[in-house]
């Protein structure tokens, strides 16, 4: 959805340093390669091999793989979670707000953002998370849904004065769910590799197989930290983030193609029925940060992009 661009609410927010299925008897026999008669099961015909051009793109996808952390449900008493109320002390931060222009009657109002998730960076590091993130501190993510914000709190001295939860936008608070983190491998989308798919000498079946490859091994919904984003539309979110930040800083964005390390996927939040979230028409939220900023513990320039089907 082209309107799903987002601006960072940053002022004053940085604190501190910065299938298994059940088989019947026939199913079990089939799985063992046997029919009830004892004859070998008939195997489905293998799909034809990819042509030279498609195979080359497939190899390139695999060569550009990046590690990612899948965010899965858990009953363990960990700090990281989606939804509920943030475990945040009002001594460390104010609840983020955004200014929204209402059309009828036309006026600008200030509204509180909804709480999305919180991450303990020590849990992220222990699970094998990206080395460009600090190994200590906590991150809190908010959205409204056209804008996004993130708080970084480095002071970990207990929750002495829980922050008051204001009146929230429709759809919040989300269902609370603790997070387990599991390493996985992410691959770039086909459109991320090729500017114009129509110029490829590849048949439609091979194109479909290539397009499906990055998400074929991923669970749904796709909540993740780091790695390649699972884009729905808008093929260069990194450059979109650069444009938004440049506008905020009053400068021209970089005109050349961005280096791979300029912007990193900090958090991807998918539509999730269990959390009672639906971003647009089944979309996703993507929080991005420049790698240099993350390594320096500077989370004041995070950008959020929203995409929908």
DSSP 8-state secondary structure symbol assigned to residue 65: -
pLDDT > 70: percent of the chain: 78
Q: Percent helix, strand and coil across the chain, each rounded to 5?
A: 20, 25, 55
Best-predicted range by mean pLDDT (3-7, 100-104, 245-249): 245-249
Contact status, residue 69 vs residue 124, Cβ threshold 8 Å: yes
Confidence of residue 297 (pLDDT cuts 50, 70, 90): very high
pTM: 0.80
Confidence of residue 7 (pLDDT cuts 50, 70, 90): very low
Best-predicted range by mean pLDDT (29-33, 86-90, 234-238): 86-90
pLDDT at 35 over 90: no
Angle, helices 52-63 vs 204-216, to 10°: value is 20
pLDDT at 6 over 80: no
Confidence of residue 82 (pLDDT cuts 50, 70, 90): very high
Best CA proximity match to 239, nearest among 303, 187, 309: 303
Q: What is the mean pLDDT of residues 192-212?
A: 75
Confidence of residue 65 (pLDDT cuts 50, 70, 90): very high
Best CA proximity match to 262, nearest among 301, 231, 222, 307: 301
Residue 106 β-bridge partners = 103
Best CA proximity match to 26, nearest among 48, 11, 41: 41
pLDDT at 289: 97
Q: For the segment 156-201, what is each residue's pLDDT rounded down to a tens digit? A: 677 788 899 999 988 899 999 999 999 999 998 887 777 666 666 7
- Across the chain, mean pLDDT equals 81
Top pLDDT among 50 and 36 is at 50
Q: Give the H or E element holding residue 226.
A: none
pLDDT at 298: 94
Which domains can be identified in the chain, with CATH numbers?
66-186+218-307 (2.30.320.10)
Confidence of residue 92 (pLDDT cuts 50, 70, 90): confident
pLDDT at 154 over 50: yes
Q: What is the mean pLDDT of residues 212-229?
A: 91
Q: What is the mean pLDDT of residues 115-137?
A: 97
Top pLDDT among 81 and 214 is at 81
Contacts of 140 (CB under 8 A, 6+ apart): 86, 88, 93, 115, 117, 118, 150, 151, 153
pLDDT at 286: 96
């Amino acid at each position: 959805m082209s309107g799903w661009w987002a601006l960072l609410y940053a002022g004053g927010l940085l604190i501190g340093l910065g299938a298994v299925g059940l088989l019947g008897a026939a199913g079990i026999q089939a799985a063992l390669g046997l029919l009830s008669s004892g004859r070998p099961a008939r195997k489905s015909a293998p799909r034809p091999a990819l042509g030279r051009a498609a195979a080359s793109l497939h190899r390139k996808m695999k060569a550009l793989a990046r590690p990612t952390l899948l965010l899965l449900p858990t009953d363990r008493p960990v700090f990281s979670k989606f939804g509920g109320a943030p475990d945040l002390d009002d001594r460390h931060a104010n609840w983020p707000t955004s200014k929204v222009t209402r059309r009828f009657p036309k006026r600008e109002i200030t509204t509180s953002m909804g709480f999305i998730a919180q991450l303990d960076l020590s849990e992220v590091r222990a699970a094998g998370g990206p080395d460009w993130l600090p190994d200590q501190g906590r991150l809190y993510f908010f959205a409204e849904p056209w804008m996004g914000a993130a708080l970084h709190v480095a002071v970990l001295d207990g929750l002495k004065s829980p922050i008051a939860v204001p009146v929230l936008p429709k759809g919040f608070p989300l269902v609370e769910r603790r997070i387990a983190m599991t390493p996985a491998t992410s691959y770039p989308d086909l459109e991320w590799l090729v500017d114009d798919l129509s110029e490829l000498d590849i048949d439609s079946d091979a194109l479909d197989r290539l397009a499906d490859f990055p998400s074929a091994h991923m669970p749904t919904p796709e909540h993740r930290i780091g790695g390649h984003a699972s884009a729905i539309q808008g093929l260069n979110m990194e450059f979109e983030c650069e444009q938004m930040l440049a506008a905020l800083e009053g400068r021209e964005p970089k005109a050349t193609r961005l280096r791979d390390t300029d912007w990193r996927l900090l958090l991807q939040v998918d539509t999730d029925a269990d959390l009672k979230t639906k971003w647009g028409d089944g979309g996703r939220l993507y929080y991005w940060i420049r790698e240099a900023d993350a390594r320096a513990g500077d989370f004041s320039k995070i950008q959020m992009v929203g995409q929908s089907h």
